[in-house]
Amino acid sequence: MKHRLLLMAFLFTGVFCFAQTEDEKMVEDFEPSVVNQPGKEFPKVNSEGRVRVQIEAPEAKKVQLDIGGVKYDLEKNEKGMWIGESAPQDEGFHYYQLNIDGASVPDPGSKYYYGAGRWGSGIEIPASDKEFYELKDVPHGSVSENIYFSEITREWRRNFVFTPPGYFENMDKRYPVLYLQHGSYEDETGWSSQGHANLILDNLIAEGKAEPMIIVMDNGYAYKPEDLEKAGENRPRSSFEDVLIKEVVPQIDGKFRTIPNREHRAIAGLSMGASQTMSIIMNNLDHFAYYGGFSGTANFPGDKKVDAGTFLNGAFSNAKDVEEKLDVIFLSLGTKEAEVFFKTVNAFRDMLEKQDIDYIFYSSPETGHEWLTWRRSLYQYAQLIFKK
């Protein structure tokens, strides 16, 4: 039994301070955020990881910055400008919003991202290891919007498709495909926007650390009209597995220069997407050879032991069959994730170990249930797939 634990070592220079007392002065080295709207000075970030925002609202009675579920009161100056700062934030990407007299609104100074079930503001706290997802002077692939009509959901849908550098130059070359899913209350825009999946792969491919591959990023919310009608206000049964297997995979194989077999297909997802893709791959081992679950809840309660004979209809009960068909099982968590994720992922790991099934586990240092964890996870996972 071989279980590889991947640990990423980062050099923390002491820039981020999390134990500052009220008597200590704030470091006044704020710079405009790298994800600001063009020409906007605010929001700003300083070397402690604090976020400073400013908004003009002369008639407002109370304005707050809401980041990470914590609200910080802003102060109004004589010009009607409200300004204030957050406490130091963990490095990486965070959703945030402004609260003006009880109404939550995006910050007009920041770019907007789809997360938490809405389009809203985002902020980057510079990460010590940001080099692996930075825009560099290397050959770049393309991200295109692929629109299709789903006969299953009876609606127009779309996915975003990353084609690697050289795809449009070498027309004879065919590529393996990674199907990469978002998390709860996010959508198909997440991995190429917040996640920088295309830049991560551009850099890995340029360094020879990952095989050139196509990445397909679809929307994990898919429902049949009749299921929506029956469910009413309740959550309907998801039809995403059917959409992916019966519609998306055949369409991608027909439209792009793929290598259309299981040995050249991988699947991965974060949080909700990790759970979805776990069910999909174990129900369709003839379609995929690689699995990646980033911060996954693994489809079972973490306070119970996982029975390989009943979990996912006994999909893991035949260890020999699983290992013959899955070249990589990759799991990851941030070290600051909520307890529920440790419980569920560790319960799943225990089941794999009892079945003597090989897997790889990666721990992202000092990150929680957030995009830096998932960027790092993709960086690790992409180096493992399609290298049998």
Residue 285 CA to residue 262 CA, distance in Å, equals 8
* pLDDT of 261: 97
Strands 103-105, 92-100: pairing kind: antiparallel
Task: Please compute the mean of the pLDDT values over residues 139-151 and round it to a whole number.
Answer: 98
* CATH number of the domain within which 298 lies: 3.40.50.1820
Total number of domains in the chain: 2
pLDDT value, residue 25: 85
pLDDT score, position 12: 34
pLDDT tens-digit readout, 233-282: 888 999 999 999 999 999 999 999 999 999 999 999 999 999 999 999 99
Question: Is-contact 329 315, C-beta < 8 A?
Answer: no
Same domain, 34 and 59: yes
- Mean pLDDT over the full length of the chain: 92
| pLDDT-based confidence at residue 8 (cuts at 50, 70, 90) | very low
Q: How many CB atoms lie within 10 A of CB 318?
A: 14
- Cβ-in-10-Å burial (0-12, 13-18, 19+) of 148 comes to middle
Could you tell me if 105 and 142 lie in one domain? no
The whole-number pLDDT of residue 14 equals 34
Sign for the pseudo-dihedral over CA of 126, 127, 133, 136: positive
Q: Let me know: does 376 contact 8? Beta carbons within 8 Å.
A: yes
Say what percent of the chain tops pLDDT 70. Answer: 91
pLDDT of residue 106: 96
pLDDT of residue 184: 94
Residue-level pLDDT at 299: 58
Cis peptide before 43 (omega within 30 of 0): yes
Least confident residue range of 255-264, 326-335, 338-347 = 338-347
Terminal CA-to-CA distance of the chain, rounded, Å? 18
- pLDDT computed for residue 246 by the predictor: 98
41 sits in which H/E element: none
Question: What is the reported pLDDT for 11?
Answer: 33
Residue 15 pLDDT grade (very low, low, confident, very high; cuts 50, 70, 90): very low
Average pLDDT (185-191) is 97
Assigned domain for 9 exists: no
Long-range Cβ contacts of 271-275 (<8 Å, 24+ apart): 271/183, 271/184, 271/295, 271/296, 271/297, 271/369, 272/181, 272/182, 272/183, 272/184, 272/220, 272/297, 273/180, 273/181, 273/182, 273/183, 273/220, 274/181, 274/298, 275/299
Q: Which of these three, 78, 103, 127, is where a domain ends?
A: 127
Domain assignment present for residue 193? The answer is yes
Distance CA 377, CA 79 (A): 46
Look up the CATH number of the domain holding residue 97: 2.60.40.10
- Dmax (CA) for the chain in angstroms is 72
* Same domain flag for 295 and 326: yes
pLDDT above 90 (res 205): yes
Mean pLDDT of 293-297: 89
Q: Which amino acid is at 57?
A: A
Q: Which of 127, 151, 181 is the last residue of a domain?
A: 127
Q: In one letter, which amino acid is 159?
A: N
369 Rama sector, left if φ>0, alpha if ψ -120 to 50, beta otherwise: beta
Report the predicted TM-score, pTM, of the whole model to 2 decimal places: 0.92
Domain extent at residue 305 = 131-382
Asked if pLDDT for residue 226 goes beyond 70, the answer is yes
Q: Give the whole-number percent of the chain exceeding pLDDT 90.
A: 85
Which pLDDT value is given to residue 74?
Answer: 98
Local structure of 322: helix, strand or coil = helix
pLDDT of residue 2: 58
Q: What is the pLDDT of residue 114?
A: 96
pLDDT band at 356 (very low <50, low <70, confident <90, very high): very high
| Residue 245 and residue 269 in one domain | yes
Q: What is the pLDDT of residue 374?
A: 98
- In whole angstroms, give the CA distance from residue 106 to residue 118: 10
User: Residues 109, 250: one domain?
Assistant: no
pLDDT computed for residue 232 by the predictor = 83
Say if residue 106 is in the same domain as residue 164: no
Pick the residue with more confidence: 263 or 3?
Answer: 263
**174 within some domain:** yes
